[in-house]
């Protein structure tokens, strides 16, 4: 398994129309806009940012097909896989493979929640998917408050032993936990890439050892984040920090304000302000923003003065 994910990987949104259906016209325009940025490493589809858990299997499959048509071989496409049972997770993984996905991001299953968690439980779940679908696999460590799980050292090392596993998205939103996870991976028999999923400390994640960033905020301030990462890698710490403090972190604070669940709608509202998509509707049970909330997000986008390409045509 070989899939280099060292860089910025946006977890993309899914445009939804007023009728609650996936808006394919705006989806295609959004994808074409994303492709105008140089330096992205991949696109992550049907993740939480894209309201994957609220989409049907057919919708997820169709969205992957649209990405395959629009992206071609220009960027790897990763498919988020989350399902109520192992059989359905395998089915979703097979759908992703058939649609041409380059890799899978395996959501932590709700059954993992609760202590103690025997390492065999997450291992057998991931192993079953890996045995059925020979695609590179990204683990997903997510804080329990957002419905995820923090893997023990034993569980993490066992998961890394699965040949398909090439990376982990670490989204504990806890810098200490992030460092502890990095140390466990450093001691693993083989190396996998560490991707930050922590939108609340993006630049700091790279200072602490991240190889890449697979984040919902990756679809905003794209040029700024690519520049920031490149400057950090080149040793220009001051330049990276200036970009982060000026354009990235203030907008992160607005998009990921409390309650965090509304970051999806806020992200879409930011994209509306940028002229990328036409509406910020979300799929119930998520709710659209109030007018006051929309005003706050739009003001934050304008203040960030983002460098964006001209909107792609439908």
Domains of the chain, by residue range, sit at: 8-234
pLDDT band at 184 (very low <50, low <70, confident <90, very high): very high
Task: To the nearest 10°, report the CA torsion of 129, 147, 118, 122.
Answer: 10
| pLDDT at residue 112 in the model | 92
Which two structure tokens, joined as six digits, stand for 100? 């041409």
Among 21-35, 104-118, 236-250, 254-268, the least confident range: 104-118
Q: Considering all CA atoms of the chain, what is the largest pairwise distance in Å, rounded to the nearest integer?
A: 52
Confidence of residue 113 (pLDDT cuts 50, 70, 90): confident
* DSSP letters for the chain: ------SEEEB----B-TTSSB-HHHHHHHHHHHTTSTTB--EEESSTTTTGGGS-HHHHHHHHHHHHHHHTTSS-EEEEE--SSHHHHHHHHHHHHHTT-SEEEEPPPGGG-SSS--THHHHHHHHHHHHH--S-EEEEEE-GGGT--PPPHHHHHHHHTSTTEEEEEEE-S-HHHHHHHHHHHHTSSS--EEEE--GGGHHHHHHTT-SEEEEGGGGSSHHHHHHHHHHHHTT-HHHHHHHIIIIIHHHHHHHTPSSGGGHHHHHHHHHHHTTSSS-----TTS-PPPHHHHHHHHHHHHHHT---PPPPP-
Architecture in CATH of 8-234: Alpha-Beta Barrel (3.20)
* Position 146 pLDDT exceeds 50: yes
Confidence category of residue 114, pLDDT binned at 50, 70, 90: confident
- Of 309 and 45, the one with more pLDDT: 45
What is the predicted pLDDT for the residue at 147? 85
Distance CA(60)–CA(51), nearest Å, equals: 10
> Is residue 312 very low, low, confident or very high in pLDDT (cuts 50, 70, 90)?
very low
Q: Is the pLDDT of residue 270 over 70?
A: yes
């Amino acid at each position: 398994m070989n899939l280099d994910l060292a860089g910025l990987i946006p977890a993309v949104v899914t445009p939804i129309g007023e009728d609650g259906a996936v808006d394919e016209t705006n989806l295609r325009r959004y994808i074409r806009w994303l492709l105008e940025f140089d330096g992205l490493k991949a696109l992550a589809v049907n993740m939480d940012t894209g309201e994957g858990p609220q989409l049907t299997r057919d919708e997820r499959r169709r969205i992957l097909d649209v990405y395959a048509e629009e992206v071609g071989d220009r960027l790897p496409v990763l498919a988020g896989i989350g399902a109520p049972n192992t059989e359905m997770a395998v089915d979703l993984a097979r759908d992703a493979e058939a649609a041409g996905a380059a890799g899978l991001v395996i959501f932590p299953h709700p059954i993992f929640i609760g202590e103690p968690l025997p390492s065999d439980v997450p291992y057998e779940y991931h192993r079953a998917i890996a045995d059925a679908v020979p695609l590179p696999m990204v683990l997903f460590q997510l804080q329990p408050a957002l419905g995820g799980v923090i893997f023990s050292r034993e569980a993490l090392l066992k998961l890394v032993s699965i040949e398909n596993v090439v990376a982990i998205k670490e989204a504990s939103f806890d810098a200490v936990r992030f460092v502890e996870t990095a140390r466990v991976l450093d001691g693993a028999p083989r190396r996998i890439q560490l991707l930050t999923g922590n939108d609340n400390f993006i630049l700091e994640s790279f200072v602490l050892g991240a190889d890449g960033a697979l984040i919902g905020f990756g679809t905003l301030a794209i040029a700024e984040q690519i520049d920031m990462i490149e400057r950090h890698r080149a040793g220009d710490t001051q330049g990276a920090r200036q970009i982060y403090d000026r354009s990235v972190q203030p907008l992160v604070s607005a998009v990921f304000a409390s309650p965090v669940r509304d970051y999806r709608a806020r992200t879409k509202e930011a994209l509306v302000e940028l002229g990328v998509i036409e509406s910020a509707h979300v799929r119930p049970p998520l709710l659209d923003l109030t007018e006051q909330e929309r005003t706050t997000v739009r003001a934050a986008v304008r203040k960030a003065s983002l460098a964006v390409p001209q909107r792609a045509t439908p």
